[in-house]
Each structure stands twice: as structure tokens, then as C-alpha cells.
Amino acid sequence: MLTITESVLVRELALKWSKVGLQVVKELVVPIIDNIYYDNYLEGRDSIRIDLAAYDPHNDKIIFVEAENGLYLPHPQIYLPFCNELYVLCPEDLSSFRNEQMEWSRDEGIGIIEMTEDGEITTSLSASSRKIYPSVEAYVKARLFKKIEKERKKK
């Protein structure tokens, strides 16, 4: 299995997606506000932090990406209520439990993006597109667009 840091994975995917017109930010924090949305996955949390958040203006979608060092999926469900599509990003994993993880991800609607040894980023499993509550969508978009604008001003 390829050894690569999560920050490199995120940086490379952000570059790739930016080139095709997605608006991308790294490390988006979304505070949990009970009267907007709450479920059992969020028990005891003040916020969620996603490694990469993107807005697809062509399809009006919020896409979240959680980077991992391998294809093991300990907690991505906490992000599902906050995005239209959710992906796990990791180095290409050809281990013995790959099929089990792919099946679990497919059942949960979570996509998988992998980086091969030669640095190519490929979507191994497409995420299911889901609707999110309008109030949650508006809240996440506001946080996302604010961070996009803040990072744009830094450049």
C-alpha cells in the first residue's frame, strides 16, 4: 500500500477539483446547532471538521471528503447530514478487507477516491447523491462560501 500523508492527498485532490471548476476549501469546521440539525452521530460534539469541502456550482452540490491513511472507515457517517455527496480519500488499498470496505461504503452511499502509486487520483466508488435539509444546506453553504471568500482574499 502506498504511504502518503493525508495533507498531500487533500492538497492534490483540491488542485484537481479546482481545475474543473469546483470551489474548494480545506478543513471546514461546521458548528453543531441543535435547532438546525441533530442526530445520534453527533452526540457530544460541538462541531464537525471535514478535511476537504467543495461546492459544485454546476450541480449545486456540497461535497465533503474525509482523508484517511487507508481504506478503513471509522466515522464518516457523522458528515452525511451536512453534504450532498460524501467521499473517503485514501491511498490505493489492495488489502484483503478492501471488498468488505467497498461493500459497506456502497451500502452507506459513501464514495471512495484513491491515489495510486503513480499519483493518479481516481474515483473507485461514486457517492450517492442525497438531499439535505434546506436549513442545514443553507447553513453549510454560508460557512463554506465564507471560508472560500476568506481564502480568496489571502491570495
The answer to whether 52 touches 86, Cβ cutoff 8 Å, is: no
Q: How confident is the model at residue 100 (pLDDT cuts 50, 70, 90)?
A: confident
Residue 54 belongs to domain with CATH number: 3.40.1350.10
End-to-end CA distance of the chain: 35
Torsion sign, CA atoms 139, 144, 149, 154: positive
Q: Is the pLDDT at 70 greater than 80, yes or no?
A: no
131 within domain boundaries: yes
123 within domain boundaries: yes
What average pLDDT does this structure show over 60-69? Answer: 93
Q: Look at residue 73 in the predicted model and tell me its pLDDT.
A: 63
Averaged confidence pLDDT in the chain: 87
1 within domain boundaries: no
**Number of domains making up the chain:** 1
pTM above 0.75, yes or no: yes
Q: Is the pLDDT at 114 greater than 70, yes or no?
A: yes
100 within domain boundaries: yes
* Amino acid residing at 108: E
Q: How confident is the model at residue 23 (pLDDT cuts 50, 70, 90)?
A: very high
CA-CA distance, 4 to 103, in Å (whole number)?
24
Q: Look at residue 152 in the predicted model and tell me its pLDDT.
A: 86
Percent of the chain scoring above 70 in pLDDT: 86
Q: Residue 140 is part of which domain span?
A: 6-154
95 within domain boundaries: yes
- 51 by Cβ neighbours in 10 Å (0-12 / 13-18 / 19+) ranks as buried
64 within domain boundaries: yes
Q: How confident is the model at residue 39 (pLDDT cuts 50, 70, 90)?
A: low
The answer to whether 124 touches 101, Cβ cutoff 8 Å, is: no
What nine digits make up the cell of 81? 447530514
CA-closest candidate to residue 59, choices 29, 85, 86? 85
- The helices-and-strands tally (H runs, E runs) of the chain is 3, 6
